[in-house]
Amino acid sequence: MSAHVEIPRPYESAPGRFTVDLAFPAQSKRRAQQHHDVAWSLADVHGVEASTPYKVNPRWSVYEENWGNKERHGWLDMRRLTVQGGAQAVARYLVALERVLDEVEALATRAVRVFGAWKRSVAAEPHLEYEDASTMRTRAREFRADVLHALVQGLGAPRRGAAERDSSRPLWERYGAVADKVWAETGGVDLERAEEKAVTAQMLRMVPDSEAGRAVVAEAEHLVVAEAVRVERETRVGFEAWQEVERLARDEQMELFPPGVAAAVWPEVSADRRLYAPAA
């Protein structure tokens, strides 16, 4: 399981069609959105449909929007993504997504190591004259985020070769060149590859083909049968109650009317009786 995306069990939203609601738990909102963008880019590669859910602002009201704090009604929730498609397509997508996120994050970490080596080099001294430990930690954090953004933006697009870095500028301004460099050195990220064993395991979570899945299906079938028996029993009890009402009404009519009149009235009641009869 990847630490960069939460994948609940996909559910069958239509016959043969599965839906999964992904969540990106990164502490930084910016980083979570980058993971969201990776998942979005990967959807086209694997032939599944992706959509970003809308999140309603709980603080919104007509008053707040027009005369208060200008609260918006809501916005797209970039920490979530809904993915839909066929069972196998969704399974392959989820397996590939975990690997791609891990590999993109590994490339960003590799770029940070390049940054660390650079700031200890002689070439970095002119650029670090007015920097201290605190500002350099901020520089490194922002550099990693910028490199990750550059890697995400380049997913699925043709990559140019690693360009020569301009030593007249500090490395934190040349994050794009570093992203190209680490991509070229590692061979990039394969967006399509998905291990068949992992795909099969994911399919077993979705399609009740395993022993645990069959147990769940058997329990569901038992509940359906029990509900059908209950409805049939209630229907039969209702029909028997109607029979008793019918018998009392008939006896009452026989007492109130002469036999010829009662025989003329009773067929209408008997016709109503058929409406309450249980289905064959």
Give the pLDDT score at 100: 95
Q: Which of 114-118, 138-142, 149-153, 244-248 has the lowest mean pLDDT?
A: 244-248
Give the pLDDT score at 86: 92
Average pLDDT of span 6-17:
89
Residue 194 φ/ψ region, left for φ over 0, alpha for ψ in the -120 to 50 degree band, beta for the rest: beta
166 near 94, Cβ under 8 Å? Answer: no
Find where tokens 């009662």 sit.
262
Give the pLDDT score at 269: 47
* Side chain identity at residue 260, one-letter code: G
Mean pLDDT, the chain, integer: 80
Please say if the pLDDT value at position 31 is more than 80: yes
Please say if the pLDDT value at position 259 is more than 70: no
Highest mean pLDDT among 82-86, 156-160, 233-237 belongs to: 82-86
71 near 55, Cβ under 8 Å? Answer: no
Domains of the chain by residue range: 11-206, 211-276
Bigger pLDDT: 186 vs 83:
83
Report CA 102 to chain centroid distance, whole Å: 18
Please say if the pLDDT value at position 205 is more than 90: no
pLDDT category of residue 160 using cuts at 50, 70 and 90:
low
Please say if the pLDDT value at position 275 is more than 50: no
- Tokens representing 215 are 């147990």
CA distance 182 to 105: 12
* pTM for this entry: 0.68
CA distance 61 to 149: 35
Average pLDDT of span 128-141:
90
Q: How many CB atoms lie within 10 A of CB 250?
A: 15
Phi, psi of 17 (to 5 degrees): -125, 130
Give the pLDDT score at 97: 95
Residue 272's contacts (CB-CB under 8 Å, 6 or more residues apart) are: none
